[in-house]
Structure 1
Amino acid sequence: MSGSSVSQRPSSALRKVLVPLALAQFICSFAGSNMNVMINDMSEDLDTTVQGIQTAITIFLLVMAALMIPGGKLTDRYGRKRCLLVGLAVYGVGALISAVAPGLGILILGNSILEGIGTALLIPPVYILTTLLFTNTASRARAFGAISAMGGVGAAAGPLIGGLITSAISWRAAFVFQALIIVLIILLSRHIEDPLPPDPTSIFDKGGAVLSAVGLILVVMGILAADNSTWLMVSLLVAGALVLLWFFLSIRAKERAGKEPLLSTSLFRNRTSNLGLVTQNIQWLVLMGTSFTVAAYLQVVRGYNAIETGVIFTAATAGLLLSSFGAERFAKRRAQRTLVILGFAFTAGGIALLLAMVGDSSTPWALAPGLFLIGFGIGVMLTPSVNIVQSSFSEEQQGEISGLSRSVSNLGSSLGTAIAGTILVAGLSHGGYAAAMAALAVAGIIGLIVSLFLPRGKTPVTSAADQPRSA
């Protein structure tokens, strides 16, 4: 099927294609945040601690980040739709195992490992298929907007939906809910046709996949070890940095030898894309870090249950929905760079409000204005950041850049939960909340500074041939 024929489809057919793709992003983002409101219920039922649940959440996000690049590369070899369906199936099995988990170990197997692997297989096809099927610039922007918005809504509404299900039935039912959504997505995916045939001869760089995954895992594990041992933290961080350097040197050596590496080094020589990737990373770092920090604070320190905690998060969901509904109108009136800058400004302001208002009030609703601003700011800049990165490369590199983009975003999610969670857990009873939110505020300010360096005007699209070659 040619891209031009797809772009001429009636809008109803386009919507049939877009719905399962957007739902897939929604459920994966939902999985990353809904457990935040179940901390007390799950820790009691599974005989573990807040740190145990934090570890399960972080490992889930980390597995996604570590395997997203290989997952994107596998789509070339096995086909985008096939990888999407296999990923959905693995995710569904993981959700069902999580629902019946008798202890933390089985929960980590089902939720952290299997759901993480499933997500890494299914998310790259979502973005690659969107790029290939929606060839018209305007329709592609709207499609990315819908998918990014559903991802943001899933992350922001996860605490509310998870809280409702947990309070009404059980935390285990939240995983059954995920499995049911997966079945729905599989049924809806029958409308999707892969625009490009799979290439069984495509070479998969196994060594590069292992190095990239190990490097990312060591970095995040180093952060998680911060409250146990400074030497262990430093050792893991240094080891992770060295492995990632080894990964980069290995893919450069493969390119020079005429072999196909896991990632082309040309992806890292596009200044606009690099800046966009940094903004994506920080957006998800702030969103997931805030979600875990506020949810843990309300439940462990304030003693609120799952539904009470989830309801408070409706402020963030409302802000994100409001900005998502206006995304197309914003894009027509403002440049993508401007929207990213405004998004970080709103988000940083929201974090400042969370710090200022909570100290002056005993009611948890003092968190609402700050959460609303954070949700609104994230919603304003999610789609522009994705467009900036994806539009920096031609169609032949969409598989690679989609995997890298999703890996960077999910790495941000895992770093947010790891950094903020580690700070929070280390001092829940004496200023841990303020310290964690202050760290997230610093991240938001860094994101704002980086966004100022994004180019003005439209992002140029470059082909593989236009990319500078390594020496």
Structure 2
Amino acid sequence: MAETVAAGRRSGHRRELAALALAQFTCSFAGSNMNVMINDISRDLDTTVQGVQVAITIFLLVMAALMIPGGKLTDRYGRKRCLLTGLVVYGVGALLSAVAPGLGVLILGNSILEGVGTALLIPPVYILTTLLFHDMTSRARAFGVIMALGGIGAAAGPLIGGLITTGISWRAAFVFQALVIVVIVVLSRGIEDPLPPEPDRPFDTVGAVLSAVGLVLIVMGILAADNDVWLMLGLLCLGVFMLWWFFHWVRAREASGKEPLLSLALFHNRTSNLGLVTQNVQWLLLMGSSFTVAAYLQVVRGYDAIGTGVIFTSATLGLLVSSLAAERLARRRPQRTLIMTGFAVSVVGVAVLIVLAGSLSSAWAFAPGLLLLGLGLGVMLTPSVNVVQSSFPEEQQGEISGLSRSVSNLGSSFGTAIAGTILVSGLTRGAYAAAMLVLAAIGLAGLAAAALLPHDRPRPPAHPS
């Protein structure tokens, strides 16, 4: 009887883990699959490359801006309820995107609704995993599965999106996302929230608005760089002011004994701060390079969606190989060493993407650089998150997880905004090289931040997220 109960519990946990991992895969997939649809969407909706770039960037930005508020809402309304609500909102956004008659409706469905849905469902994924898997070994394994599927979703998004776009239509890629959401909802029915909701728990609405508006203004300022320099400066200054106001508000709220949206104590840990910088730069490199290479191949070189997606299989392969070896590497090498190695390999990959693209006409000239980029990112993704998570006690894991996810998504948004803005300003070989050089420079800054991390001994991941 005991063996039967244990087997049933393991089977239930597998279904729960499958639902949570698929949710992370879908959200990561959504962030990168549109990169190979640039030409198809531009033609169908009578828009420009910059229009598609804005849609992608706003999606990533909405995720980043609302991730921390989304995490706070899980305490008030319950983790499972927020997960299911996020899935439904995401599914509606995907279906609306599939029938979009113009760019405005696509932004509403993909960028806004899917972004809001992601911000609601991702925090419960990580919090439920922490609560459902009690011992450190099973928890580390569960987070490893979730992170692996998230990385694969981001790296394989161009290939899967290219196959669907070429075989059917770019609209079918959004229908595919909606179908996966249905599967996740079915698998999620058996999830039981280990903690009851706290409907009377206060929510910092002012803090949520200030932080979201500040981040939106900064990214929109970056997007405006190639159209109006004064508008760019105005938006950036206003965004910085709103973020200053947010931190001032949080400090005053903490001083009065009220619960803020985000505790400033999270930023008092130097190791965690450096880890957050490395996370931000990693996703900036991944999404910035993905958009730049995909847009260049389609708009300048004239490749279709499937041709572009196939080239990106090298990045997927590199990320998959290094992710599968992550646990073994963590036992043998210090986290600081893995993060520094990952950045070094990734920067070399970006350099290869610049050199070979300029000297060879074949699209396969991009494969070696993408492979190195995937290998480097796969090596350092989990150690960077683990550096942040392991800097805080168990009772602060939910809060730091929300901050960690927000910082990572903000990096994705910055990558697409910065590199994309440089590229679409000229859409030439020179603009491509300039965008990639900027990404390489940012990668070197990430390497410098990793070098400042404290030395540690190799050990298995304590609490990856």
Same fold by TM-score greater than 0.5: yes
Does the 8 Å CA contact 2:358/2:429 hold for their aligned counterparts?
A: no
Structure-to-structure mapping, 1:248-397, within 5 angstroms: 248-397=247-396
Q: Deviations over 1:159-196 (max 9, x none)?
A: 00000000000000000000011111111112322221
Query: Partner letter of residue 129 of structure 1?
Result: L
Q: Distance in 1 between matches of 2:394 and 2:186?
A: 28
User: Does structure 1 residue 192 correspond to structure 2 residue 191?
Assistant: yes
In structure 2, stretches of 5+ residues that fail to align are none
How many angstroms apart in 2 are the aligned matches of 1:375 and 1:55? 25
In the TM superposition, what are the counterparts of 1:120-159 in structure 2 within 5 Å? 120-159=119-158
Contact kept in structure 1, 2:346 and 2:377, CA below 8 Å: yes
Residues 7 and 76 (structure 1), Cα distance of their counterparts in 2 relative to 1, 3 Å cut: farther
User: Counterpart in 2 of 1:440?
Assistant: 439
Q: Given residue 405 of structure 2, which amino acid in structure 1 is its aligned partner?
A: R
The corresponding residue for 1:223 is 222
Per-residue CA distance 1:396-441 (angstroms, 9 max, x = gap): 2233212211111110001000000000000112511000000110
Q: Give the AA of the match of 2:105.
A: I
Structure-2 separation of matches of 1:226 and 1:271:
32
Say which is worse superposed, 47-56 or 189-198, in terms of deviation: 189-198
**In the alignment, structure 1 residue 114 sits paired with structure 2 residue 113:** yes
CA–CA separation in structure 2 for the residues paired with 1:383 and 1:436:
27
Query: Does the residue aligned with 2:189 lie in a helix, a strand or coil?
Result: helix
| Corresponding letter in the other structure for 2:414 | L
State the alpha-carbon separation in 2 of the partners of residues 234 and 130 from structure 1: 42
Q: CA deviation at 1:300?
A: 0.3
Distance in 1, matches of 2:356 and 2:9, equals 49
Q: Tell me the secondary structure at the aligned position of residue 198 of structure 2.
A: coil
Residue 11 of structure 1 deviates from its aligned partner by 4.5
Cα distance in 1 between the residues matched to 2:293 and 2:239:
29
Task: Report if the CA contact (8 A) 1:65-1:408 is conserved.
Answer: yes
Contact map agreement 1:7 1:133 (CA 8 A) in 2: no
Contact 1:87–1:120 (CA under 8 A) maintained in structure 2: yes
For 1:62 and 1:287, the matched residues in 2 are separated by 15
In the alignment, the residues of structure 1 paired with residue 186 and residue 297 of structure 2 have an alpha-carbon distance, to the nearest angstrom, of 38
Greater Cα offset, 157-166 or 185-194? 185-194
Deviation at 1:226, TM superposition (A): 0.4
Partners in 2 of 1:43 and 1:99 — Cα distance? 14
| Residue in structure 1 matched with residue 167 of structure 2 by the alignment | 168
2:260 is paired with a residue whose SS is: coil
Identity %, equivalent residues: 73
CA distance in 1: counterparts of 2:173 and 2:429, whole angstroms: 32
Matched residue count: 456
Distance 1:90 1:235 in 2: 33
Report if the CA contact (8 A) 2:203-2:261 is conserved. Answer: yes
Q: Is the 8 A contact 2:60 2:410 kept in 1?
A: yes
On the 8 A contact 2:278/2:450 being kept in 1, the answer is yes
CA contact under 8 A between 1:149 and 1:383: conserved in structure 2? no
- 8 A Cα contact 2:314 2:371, kept in partner: yes
- Cα RMSD, aligned residues only: 1.8
* Partners of 1:319 and 1:374 within 8 A in 2: yes
Offset of residue 8 of structure 1: 11
Name 2:62's counterpart in structure 1: 63
Contact 2:288 2:412 in 1 (8 A): yes
Deviations 1:343-377 (A, max 9, x none): 11111110011011111111010110100010111
Distance 1:257 1:439 in 2: 43
Whether the 8 Å CA contact 1:87–1:119 is kept in 2: the answer is yes
Q: Structure 2: how far apart are the matches of 1:185 and 1:132?
A: 19
> Match for 1:455: what amino acid?
P
SS of the aligned residue for 1:451 comes to helix
Change (3 A) 1:384 1:324: same
CA 1:189 to 1:174, structure 2 compared with 1: closer, same or farther past 3 Å? same
Quote the offset at 1:153 in angstroms: 0.7
**TM-score of the superposition, structure 2-length normalised?**
0.95
Q: 5+ residue gaps in structure 1?
A: 1-5, 462-471
Aligned equivalents of 1:130, 1:385: Cα separation in 2: 19
| CA shift for structure 1 position 9 | 8.6
What residue is the counterpart of 2:17 in the other structure?
18
TM-score (norm 1): 0.94
The one-letter code of the counterpart of 2:438 is A
Check 1:395–1:199 CA distance in 2 against 1; reply closer, same or farther (3 A cut): farther
2:348 is matched by which residue type in structure 1?
A: G
* Alignment partners' CA distance in 1, 2:12 and 2:341: 34
- Counterpart of 2:193, as a letter, is D
Give the deviation of 1:318 after TM superposition: 0.5
CA contact (8 A) 2:162 2:309 kept: yes
Distance 2:304 2:286 in 1: 21
Partner of 1:95: 94
Alpha-carbon offset, residue 138 of structure 1: 2.6
Which residue of 1 is the match for residue 423 of structure 2?
424
Deviations 1:258-278 (A, max 9, x none): 111101111111112111111
In 1, Cα distance between equivalents of 2:6 and 2:415: 38
